[in-house]
Amino acid sequence: REAPTPKMLAACLLRRAILTAPFIFVVALLVTEPVRADQEAGTAIPAESRPCVDCHAFEFMQRALQDLKKTAYNLDTRTETLLLQVEKRNLCDCVAANLLN
């Protein structure tokens, strides 16, 4: 009767270890401070040689604005073309109706 006890104890301990290991891992992740990009092992880049984030953001916004202007121009042109087609169709319908009367 003494043999089943160590097996049951081993199974219980194994189950507890399997459940405890992920818990410890999650707690360790929550407790430790994340490494920031400027903290990486001795990779301090002088400010003079780093790209200017504001400059890149400004360039990106300039390109986006140019794209928006092109899109707006294309939409304006398309709208004007459609309006001219509608006016032409209305004029032709009016002329055809007058000729029939």
Tens digits of per-residue pLDDT, 46-72? 666 666 767 778 888 889 999 999 999
Q: Which residue, 46, 43, 45, is CA-closest to 35? A: 43
| Tokens 């309006």 -> residue | 83
The confidence score (pLDDT) of residue 27 equals 79
Domain boundaries, the chain: 6-33+56-100
pLDDT of residue 28: 78
- Could you tell me the pTM of the whole model? 0.38
